Amino acid sequence: MNSATGTEQEQRSFAEEALRLGGKTEEEARRMGAVDKADEQVESLFAARYQTANSPVHKAVWEGKVPLDLFAAPPLAESAPCDAAMERSIEVMRRRRNNKTIFDENKKVSAETIAELGQAGYWGMLIDPHYGGQGAPFARFARFLTRMGLIDATTAALASVHGCIGAVDPLRTFGTAEQKNRLLPVLASGKKVSGFALTEPAAGSDLTALKTVAVPAGDDYEITGEKLFITNAIPNRAIGLVVMLEGKPAVFIAELPERENEQFQIFRYGLWALKHTYNNGLRFNRFRIPKANLLKPPTGDGLTIAYHGLNLGRLSLCASAAANMRVFLANMLPWAEFRKTYGQPISSRELVKRRIARLAGLIAGADALVAWGGWLIDQGYRGELECIVAKIFGSEAQKEAAIELFMKTHGGRSFLHGHLFGDNVHEYLAPCIYEGEGEMLGMAFFKSLVKEHGRQFFEPIGKRLQEVGIKHFNPINPLHLWKLRHELTAYSKWSIGKKFAWADTQTVPGMDRRLADHVAFALHIFPEHAKELSGALRKHQLRLADRQCRMAELSLRVQDTVVMLVTAMWAHTQKKEIAIASADILCQDLHRKLTGQRPSDAYFRDVNRLADLILGGGFEELAQVPREEILMKY
């Protein structure tokens, strides 16, 4: 490896090189390099101005001036052609919920529910009207998912599985005209609802370990291998299936047969999460798929396709979390007012009020990220960094809300059969794992964020070190400094420029004082993040890949600042006290997390005030959220 030629050296990615010098095996370096390459290929599908290096988060960190206009989504259009199908779908689900007919005898979303939603236009939301769909802009679809999620979380999740990570997005984005004409109408009508089969027993976080293979056989390919944890994987579904073809990942649209047979088998296991839909393993043994169902991206391979849909799925996941957290809040309030201890309802206690206020803050954050991310996707941005922030925030907020806020407030009743928490706790936790476990994604966020900076300043230093044969750079050795003078000068200029840069003092006209303070703080801290990130690259150099805890920590700091800015900017556009006060609480929490300060009495007063507003009916939207019966009334 050390004897690599110049060309080979240039072809090696930053991560690959980092792993190599970090003492990793050649095999590990090669596999990480493959993941990096897939990521770069997704990038090249987007026009330069929409790529990660030009994304709002990247610019905010590295460019010295935060592009505030890219952090505030304009309000959605008053109406759109897809609205009628959305209203029909909501009506179907409301009726079915009231009649208790969403699920079948196995407690899974029933075939009748799926068919009726098909007639309403639900499964075609993201599909162009030309193919029988509704052509919903993504931002509108995401907001609609939150509404659907209030009625039934599983049905909302299925729309995301089908439309984002399932067969719809791969076909819309990468299908040929023939494939779209043949397959999209079936998917739009709901005759076939789809899923996505990527994970295998040995390949979850590590996608380079995929083993399922496709081998040409006449007009078909024969697929052999095993998939695990696949949502919506039952006979007669259409599945975006990731396999290895000629040593590279590829995606087929697999139309699963109506019955299991020798070539195609489902293996079932008990799974607590997503209990109202099917999640199964798939076994293929020379299972035939027509060659016509192979998707061919213009650049890259099957992982390019997978990564594209995952971005949309991650935003949808945050939209679902926004729904679940509304359900928590709507069900916490009547309970907290009903439950009296020591002669007073617990809703009058500060500890409980803090939970109510924190929950409202988390809802504001999730709503803000969904509106922002959806808008960016509709603008044409790749949105990788932004969707990761939404996924991690949404899933972690939902987990915290479920356990720290909802469960604790409901006390022992949380664990009764029939209680929302006890019955659904796994539903609330699983999003932290699927579509990328949070900390793994956090590291991916870090890597994407520092890639360009590393390329610009650290790669030239690395190459030069190799050219002049310095194995261990010593910053006080004059000979080393001389040999690297050009490369080090370029980096020093950047570093000094950052040190003496003018403060970013932009303001948003007419913004509430509370929000303006948070925006000012975010503008102040983004350049600090650039210095922290660059400092980590400088300190750990190519061994940074082993400093996972540092990467995760730095990643989360940037993510927290992004959430803060997006939430404050969103609340400003809402022009409602409830949105502003909720956003303010979340932003104050994030501010303390970023600075390590203790909460002040003023903060506790703000918390009380917001909780009182909510208890007084100030969160008007909650009126539409279905409420569960209070259990064990006395």
Ligand X SMILES: Cc1cc2nc3c(=O)[nH]c(=O)nc-3n(C[C@H](O)[C@H](O)[C@H](O)COP(=O)(O)OP(=O)(O)OC[C@H]3O[C@@H](n4cnc5c(N)ncnc54)[C@H](O)[C@@H]3O)c2cc1C
Given the complex with ligand X, which of 135 and 436 has the nearer CB atom? 436
Binds ligand X by CB under 6 A, chosen from 220, 437, 504, 612: 437
Q: Does 199 bind ligand X (CB under 6 A)?
A: yes
| Token couple for 122 | 């639900």
The burial of 28, by beta-carbon neighbours within 10 Å (0-12 exposed, 13-18 middle, 19 or more buried), is given as middle
Which span sits near ligand X by CB under 6 A: 57-65, 128-136, 246-254, 428-436? 428-436
Nearest to 570 by CA among 318, 317, 307: 318
Given the complex with ligand X, which of 42 and 274 has the nearer CB atom? 274
Output the CA–CA distances (angstroms, integers) from residue 169 to 52, 256, 330, 403, 608, in the order listed.
Answer: 20, 18, 34, 34, 44
Given the complex with ligand X, which of 121 and 431 has the nearer CB atom? 431
Q: Please state the closest distance from residue 230 (CB atom) to ligand X, in A.
A: 5
Distance, C-alpha 214 to centroid of its chain: 30
Given the complex with ligand X, which of 197 and 581 has the nearer CB atom? 197
SS3 track for 380-413: CCCCHHHHHHHHHHHHHHHHHHHHHHHHHHHHHH
Q: Please state the closest distance from residue 24 (CB atom) to ligand X, in A.
A: 11
Judge contact between 549 and 569, C-beta under 8 A: no
Q: Please state the closest distance from residue 202 (CB atom) to ligand X, in A.
A: 8
Q: Please state the closest distance from residue 207 (CB atom) to ligand X, in A.
A: 8
Given the complex with ligand X, which of 273 and 488 has the nearer CB atom? 273
Which span sits near ligand X by CB under 6 A: 65-73, 288-296, 348-356, 434-442? 434-442
Given the complex with ligand X, which of 280 and 409 has the nearer CB atom? 280
Output the CA–CA distances (angstroms, integers) from residue 17 to 79, 409, 432, 481, 499, in the order listed.
Answer: 51, 50, 30, 23, 29
Percent helix, strand, coil in the chain, to 5, is: 65, 10, 25
Size, binding site for ligand X by CB under 6 A: 21
Nearest to 331 by CA among 34, 7, 98, 628: 628
Q: Please state the closest distance from residue 305 (CB atom) to ligand X, in A.
A: 13
Nearest to 487 by CA among 507, 517, 466: 466
Q: Does 198 bind ligand X (CB under 6 A)?
A: yes
Give Rg (Cα) of the chain. 26
Given the complex with ligand X, which of 54 and 279 has the nearer CB atom? 279
Given the complex with ligand X, which of 119 and 208 has the nearer CB atom? 208
C-alpha span between 304 and 310 (Å, rounded) = 10
Helix (H, G, I), strand (E, B), or coil: what is residue 24?
coil
Binds ligand X by CB under 6 A, chosen from 279, 324, 534, 567: 279
Q: Does 290 bind ligand X (CB under 6 A)?
A: no
Q: Please state the closest distance from residue 142 (CB atom) to ligand X, in A.
A: 19
Binding to ligand X by CB under 6 A, coded x per residue (else -) over 486-525, reads ----------------------------------------
Q: Which residue, chain included where needed, has tokens 């928490």?
A: 421
Judge contact between 321 and 366, C-beta under 8 A: yes
Q: Does 204 bind ligand X (CB under 6 A)?
A: yes
- In DSSP terms, 244 is beta-bridged to 213, 249
Nearest to 390 by CA among 566, 206, 557: 566
Judge contact between 290 and 220, C-beta under 8 A: yes
Given the complex with ligand X, which of 231 and 347 has the nearer CB atom? 231
Q: Does 230 bind ligand X (CB under 6 A)?
A: yes
Given the complex with ligand X, which of 514 and 547 has the nearer CB atom? 547
Q: Does 208 bind ligand X (CB under 6 A)?
A: no
Q: Please state the closest distance from residue 39 (CB atom) to ligand X, in A.
A: 15
C-alpha span between 220 and 214 (Å, rounded) = 9
Output the CA–CA distances (angstroms, integers) from residue 406 to 236, 326, 358, 414, in the order listed.
Answer: 39, 11, 11, 8
Q: Does 446 bind ligand X (CB under 6 A)?
A: no
Given the complex with ligand X, which of 4 and 213 has the nearer CB atom? 213
Which span sits near ligand X by CB under 6 A: 90-98, 229-237, 351-359, 505-513? 229-237
The burial of 417, by beta-carbon neighbours within 10 Å (0-12 exposed, 13-18 middle, 19 or more buried), is given as exposed
Given the complex with ligand X, which of 66 and 430 has the nearer CB atom? 430
C-alpha span between 491 and 263 (Å, rounded) = 58
Q: Does 324 bind ligand X (CB under 6 A)?
A: no
Q: Please state the closest distance from residue 432 (CB atom) to ligand X, in A.
A: 9
Nearest to 322 by CA among 633, 37, 64, 579: 579
Q: Does 197 bind ligand X (CB under 6 A)?
A: yes
Given the complex with ligand X, which of 165 and 357 has the nearer CB atom? 165
**Which residues, 532 to 561, sit near ligand X by CB under 6 A?**
548
**Which residues, 239 to 278, sit near ligand X by CB under 6 A?**
273-274
| Token couple for 411 | 């006390």
C-alpha span between 602 and 624 (Å, rounded) = 32
Given the complex with ligand X, which of 121 and 438 has the nearer CB atom? 438
Judge contact between 367 and 322, C-beta under 8 A: yes
Q: Please state the closest distance from residue 166 (CB atom) to ligand X, in A.
A: 8
C-alpha span between 35 and 306 (Å, rounded) = 12
Q: Does 64 bind ligand X (CB under 6 A)?
A: no
Q: Does 19 bind ligand X (CB under 6 A)?
A: no
Q: Please state the closest distance from residue 336 (CB atom) to ligand X, in A.
A: 31
Given the complex with ligand X, which of 215 and 433 has the nearer CB atom? 433
Residue nearest to ligand X (CB): 204
Give the other-Cβ count within 10 Å of 400's Cβ. Answer: 16
Judge contact between 73 and 374, C-beta under 8 A: yes
Between β-strands 220-231 and 194-197, what pairing exists: parallel, antiparallel or unpaired? unpaired
Given the complex with ligand X, which of 548 and 574 has the nearer CB atom? 548
Binds ligand X by CB under 6 A, chosen from 90, 292, 433, 625: 433
Position 629, amino acid: E
DSSP state of 527: H
Q: Does 195 bind ligand X (CB under 6 A)?
A: yes
C-alpha span between 347 and 620 (Å, rounded) = 18
Binding to ligand X by CB under 6 A, coded x per residue (else -) over 147-176, reads ------------------------------
Q: Does 440 bind ligand X (CB under 6 A)?
A: yes
Q: What is the largest CA-CA distance in the chain?
A: 82
**Which residues, 574 to 633, sit near ligand X by CB under 6 A?**
none
Binds ligand X by CB under 6 A, chosen from 46, 131, 196, 393: 196
Q: Does 428 bind ligand X (CB under 6 A)?
A: no
Binds ligand X by CB under 6 A, chosen from 231, 280, 316, 320: 231
Binds ligand X by CB under 6 A, chosen from 434, 458, 570, 619: 434
Q: What residues line the site for ligand X (CB under 6 A)?
A: 195-199, 204-206, 229-231, 273-274, 279, 430, 433-434, 437, 439-440, 548
